[in-house]
Amino acid sequence: MLALVGSGEYLPRMEPVDRYLLEQLKSTPKVICLPTAAGKEGPERVRYWMELGKAHFTHLNASVDALPVIDQSSANNAEYAEQIRFANFVYLSGGKPDYLFQTLNGSLVWEGIMDVLNKGGVVAGCSAGAMIMGDKMPGFPGLKPAFGLLEGVIIMPHFDEIPGAMVNTLRKLVTKKLILIGIEGNTALLKGEAGYQVVGSGGVVVWKNGEKKRYTQGQPLTWE
């Protein structure tokens, strides 16, 4: 299952979402938290995200570790990649999306993350961690590449916090070939074997062909 989170990673208000994700696992939860998107913010911020993630999932009674994957060298650390392969839940917290993509692209750690997903585990990304899963990312100027796990999709987290003027700018990115998906805070868009669903206290906005629709938990969701 792929979980794309708008904001709020590791905070108490996200506990219901993360409990749900842990319940989807077919074996004992083994969580790895990656602070990679904050890799340029300094050791203190990296340590903050690692410790916050560990405390959060420990509180949820899961076995959890955090790995200091913060640059291309550590992203190609074979030991880290192997630890990830033995996990069944990987969480990418927020920061800078372009830096996160450039750091993980083509790396051993990214191969390990994809192994977790392909073996039926959970891969969750919040904010920047969600943006890199789309086809493209908003950038300056224009669009930047992403991993394409949601084909033809631009993912915009923090959607309930974005000013109207920026939303209008984002609308211009929506073409016949691209769909804009806005994910609100404390909310996750999940992609699994049964399709797509929304979990959390907010909503997910799908903007396609000039039309937008907002979905909340329990509503059937599709755009394909």
Which CATH number does the domain housing residue 193 bear?
Answer: 3.40.50.880
Structure confidence at residue 175 as a pLDDT band (50, 70, 90): low
pLDDT digits over 40-69, tens only? 999 999 999 999 999 999 999 999 999 999
Query: Domain range spanning residue 115?
Result: 2-216
What residue type is assigned to position 215 of the chain? Y
Q: What is the pLDDT of residues 118-144, one digit of tens each?
A: 999 999 999 999 999 999 998 777 789
Number of independent structural domains in the chain: 1
Q: In what order do the strands lie in the sheet with 203-208?
A: 143-145, 134-138, 150-156, 179-183, 203-208, 211-216
pLDDT at 173 over 70: no
Q: Is residue 221 part of a domain?
A: no
Residue 222, domain member (yes or no): no
Does residue 186 fall inside a structural domain? yes
Which residues contact residue 118 at a Cβ distance below 8 angstroms, ignoring those fewer than 6 apart? none
Strand 122-126 relative to strand 2-5: parallel, antiparallel, unpaired?
parallel
Residue 152 lies in a domain: yes
pTM for the structure as a whole? 0.94
